[in-house]
Structure 1
Amino acid sequence: MNLELALKENTEAIHLLISAMQGGNTLTPVASPQPKTDSNRAKKAEQENPRLEDQPLPVAVALAALYGNEGRYLDSDKLSAAVDVTETLNGKDRNEQIDALTMALKGVPRAPQLHGEDVFDLAIQIIEHWDTLPGITERREYAELLLDTPRDERAGVKPTVAKKETEPTVGDTPEEIFERARNLIMELTTGGYRNQAIDILNKFGAQKLGQVPQERLAEVVTLAKQALAEG
């Protein structure tokens, strides 16, 4: 009985196969998995082994500020930390030095055209002399000086220390003091120190410089200069 059942099932299967062939249907073989291509391997390798020279200006600056020269030996963890600090929208998580230096270098025409490694080298040297470069103007001038110098001679190039600006005196006109205060507040704002500029104005109950009493503008100048020096 079992033999007869098996023969019957086999016969039905053969009939079905013949009908399929006569109807023009063909059996499609199951596709075998394709091996990984070289492009896939290269993409994965790029993600696992990021290159400093491929990084944009803000990330290269962040790597220099966060890790110093060790940032040159890039890995995925360092890259992730640098990207996070440049892209965060939370003011508390932002790094004032990174923001200030990024803003300064973006104002140097040649800097945004450089590869990440070249920006990193500039940032390392500027950070090394940070205390003698109190504002965005000095940082840009030093970056220009470095770019004008052959690469193998840059290590010996020091910032030019500008003559210290004198404090407002009795002989200064109100217009001169206001202009000096305005320039310093603008330098804070555009140099990555916007919060400090706001704090200074708040000390005088003002939201903009024009609301500060004229007789207190000299104090604004002093406070702004201190903020730039500490930055």
Structure 2
Amino acid sequence: MSGFRRPSWWALLLTVAGALLFIRLGVWQLDRADFKEALLRRYAASSSAPWQDFAKVAQTPPSDAFPRVQVSGHYLVDRLYLLDNPKHDERGGVEVFAPFEWQGQPQLLLVDLGFLAGNGTGQAPQVPPLPATELTLQGLYVPPPPVGFEMGGDALARQTHWPKSSIFLDPAEISHDLARPLYPRVLALDADPAAIYERVHTLDFSSMPPARHRAYAFQWFSFALAAVVILLVLNRKRGPRKS
């Protein structure tokens, strides 16, 4: 490489360290993309998976699977929660959640009843009453909706009438609001053509889908290449300046 000068040891060290760091970050982003795609495939396959005993997965559900379960008990019919931030369509509406008491256990199971569409007026739709009788529910045992920052803190604690609504549903806030512990996951009910609710449950990767992870990986790999190119450019021998 007669066209290049030997770089200083610190410049070479910084370039190698930076390139290795960028490559490592790019590989990590690719791993995250593969992990999320695998979760999406497992989620799609869970709807036709065999039933599992809820008692075996209630407290310690598998981190990379979504058990299909049946539970018997009754709703706390006067304690509904409305997630006022769904991403189904442009009509407005709410995702309705109800606490469910299973076999008289002190812990409550939060049930995702589904999406209740609005009428375009901006007002929350009227939630139909729930049956107070003993029921057997079936669905997927999935992680709760993602939680974000909410201005003003706990919105549920400031409300005195039911149903209560919030743009985020924090399980810890719901547990405090009900003065009872919750199971670590939510029961997303199976689709029912006779139900008023729309039940199209998906994993919420909207803020960071697999494609975005791959875009960031390409960015990190580009940084690694740029670091090497910069080192070569700075140490390229220049010919004599013409008079």
Name the TM tier (shorter chain). Answer: under 0.3
Higher helix share goes to which structure?
1
Greater relative contact order, per chain length (Cα 8 Å cut-off, separation 6+): 2
TM-score between both structures, scaled by the size of structure 2: 0.26
Q: Report the TM-score when normalising by structure 1.
A: 0.27
Bigger Rg over Cα:
1
